[in-house]
Structure 1
C-alpha cells in the first residue's frame, strides 16, 4: 500500500489540478499548508452517516464507494469515486450531517482539505465558487438520471448499465476486456439496485450469451455493443 511519503506536492497538485489552477499563488500556499494525506485499507470507513462534515476529499489512489442504508438496512451503493474525484463536500455546503457513508473499496490514499479552508477560499475567489456550483450541478444531473434508471429499467438493463459505467469510470486491463475493478456479487447488486441472487443469475445469463466472461470477481466485457443494447432497451 502507498504511504503518505509517496505523495509529494506535485502528486497532490496533479490530482486537484482543476481546483488548483483557479487559485492565486497566495491561495495555493494557504491550501497546501492545510492539506493532510490519509492512507486507508480496503473496507475502512472514511465517514459515516450522521457525522458532521469536516473535510473536502480528493482520491489520490485507489477506489472509494459512497453508500447508504436502504429499506431494511440493505446497503445501496450511490456511486463509486475514482482517482482525482472530489467527494464529501455536499453536506458541508448544505449545512447538514452526512446522509450517506464513504469507505475504501480497495487500499486508497486520500487528500483531505478542511471545509473551513475551502469556504474561506470561496469567499475570496468567485471562480472557485462557480467551480463548486458546477460540480454540485453535475452531481445533481447524474443523480436524476440514475434515479430514473434504477427505478424504471428492468434487472438486465440495470446490470448492463452498471457494467458499462464501471468500464467508463475505471477502464480495462491490458487485455482490453477485463474491467479494472474487482467487485463481489453483493457489491454489484447494491450498485444495480437488485438482490444478490438476481445479480448472480443475470451475470450467468450474460455469460451464457457470450456477452461477458466471469473469472471470480473479475469480469470481461466481450460484446460491448450487445451490453449497450440491453442497457438502452430498459
Structure 2
C-alpha cells in the first residue's frame, strides 16, 4: 500500500514538475530531482478547505487536478470569489512570498489534488535559478493585472455586464465541454453571484434573462453559451 502511494505521488508530482506550463519546468535536472524528493501531495474532496483565511501558508501550493475557488468572507458571512484556479495553477503564493497570513480561503469545488513545496526550498531555487525567478515574477504580474481588471469590472459595470464577464471568465479559465458550448465548470447560483459581486437572487434573475434572450441555455448547473458575440458585447458595454 505504501509503495502504491509512493508511485501515485511520483506520477502526480512528476506531471506538475514537468508540465510545460509549470514554472518548475525551468528547473535543472538536479533541482527537479531534489524537488521530487521533497514535494508533498494532498487530496481534497469537493467542498473541503485547502487553506483558510488567517492561516500561515505551509508552502507553495500547486493544483495538480480539480478546480478551486479562492474567496474572502465579507459582511454577514457573504463570500466574494476573487480567483478561480485550474491545473497547473498556483494558489496562496501571495501570502507565502509576502510572509503573511492568508487573506483569503481556498475550497475545492470538485475533487482536487495539490502538490506543496516548502517555502525554504522555493527560496533556495529562486536564489540559484534566475529562470524560475523570472517565471514567478511573470505569474505574479499576470495575477496583478487580472486583479486590477476584476476590480474595475466589479465596481463599474452593471449587473448584466458583471455576470456576462463572469461567464466569459469561466469559459476562458476552464474551457468548453466536447460540444464547444457548455462551460466546463458547474457552479451553484450562489457561487456565480459571489463571483459577480451580486446577490444570488439577482444572479438567478439575470441568468434567466440571458436564457430568454437566447444568449445562454441552462440545464441545472450546466451553462451553455449560445451567442458568444452577444455575450461578449454585453460584457464590454457593462
| Pair in the same fold by TM > 0.5 | yes
Structure 1 position 124 matched with structure 2 position 133: no
1:35 positional shift = 0.7
- 1:75-224 matches, cutoff 5 A: 75-224=79-228
Gap runs ≥5 in structure 1: none
Distance in 2 separating the partners of 1:182 and 1:20: 30
Query: How many residues get paired?
Result: 232
Distance in 2 separating the partners of 1:10 and 1:49: 29
Moved over 4 A (4+): none
Gap runs ≥5 in structure 2: none
Distance in 2 separating the partners of 1:12 and 1:140: 23
Distance in 2 separating the partners of 1:30 and 1:217: 42
**Alpha carbons 1:66, 1:101 under 8 Å: kept:** yes
- What TM-score do you get using the length of structure 2 for normalisation? 0.93
User: Which secondary structure state, in structure 2, belongs to the residue aligned with residue 106 of structure 1?
Assistant: coil
User: Which secondary structure state, in structure 2, belongs to the residue aligned with residue 20 of structure 1?
Assistant: helix
Backbone CA RMSD of aligned residues: 1.6
Among 18, 32, 39, the residue aligned to 2:36: 32
1:126 positional shift = 2.0
